[in-house]
Every structure is written in C-alpha cells, then in structure tokens.
Amino acid sequence: MGVCWVHAMRNLMAVARHDQRQVIGALIRTIFTQPDCDRAVTELRQVVDQLEAIAPTVAERLQAMVRPAPLHRFPDSPVMSGDAACDL
C-alpha cells in the first residue's frame, strides 16, 4: 500500500530542518507537477540528487518511498490523476 502525496510531504517535512522546509517543499512539489509518470520519475531522481547535498535524511526517505510503496495519484495533479497510480 502506498502513501498519498499529502502524507508523504508531511512525513518528509517532519525530518527537514525548519529553515529548509520551504526550499525542500518546493523541490518535492516539482515531482507532482510533471505531465506524465516518466517525467515524474526523472524529476524525482533529480530532486533526490539535489536533496542529498542539503538534506540527506529527506533525500533518503524520498528515495525509499519510490518502491515498494508507490505514491498514489491525487486528483489535482497531472501526474497524480487518472485511473491508476503513477508507480514511482
């Protein structure tokens, strides 16, 4: 069973430093604005790479969410909408 993006973001922000949360949130949100799953996966990998330098714990947890627990689609997001989950 996966986790919705709202709960994923909440869990990631819980381990982020307070002064970095705005930047980290902005980076992570770029994953969910991608037009299709392939681009979302590519963006996720880029975000993880960027976060490794500034927030390694967040990067590790974001990467851990990829498999086996895919992020479920959310109705207001192009990537996270539709009939089936984007299996990140």
> Mean pLDDT across the stretch 46-59?
96
* Between 22 and 72, the higher pLDDT residue: 22
Percent of the chain having pLDDT more than 90? 53
Tokens (6 digits) for 66: 């990829």
pLDDT at 5 over 60: yes
User: Which residue from 6, 4, 47, 49 is spatially nearest to 23, judged by alpha carbons?
Assistant: 47
Q: What is the pLDDT of residue 71?
A: 52
List all residues 6 or more positions away from 73 whose beta carbon is below 8 Å from its beta carbon: 79, 80, 81, 82, 84, 85, 86
Q: How far is CA 60 from CA 24, 35, 52, 69, 72, in A?
A: 13, 25, 8, 14, 19
Q: What is the pLDDT of residue 17?
A: 96
> Mean pLDDT across the stretch 26-44?
91
Task: Give the pLDDT band (50/70/90) at residue 77.
Answer: low
Q: What is the pLDDT of residue 81?
A: 44
Q: pLDDT averaged over the chain?
A: 81
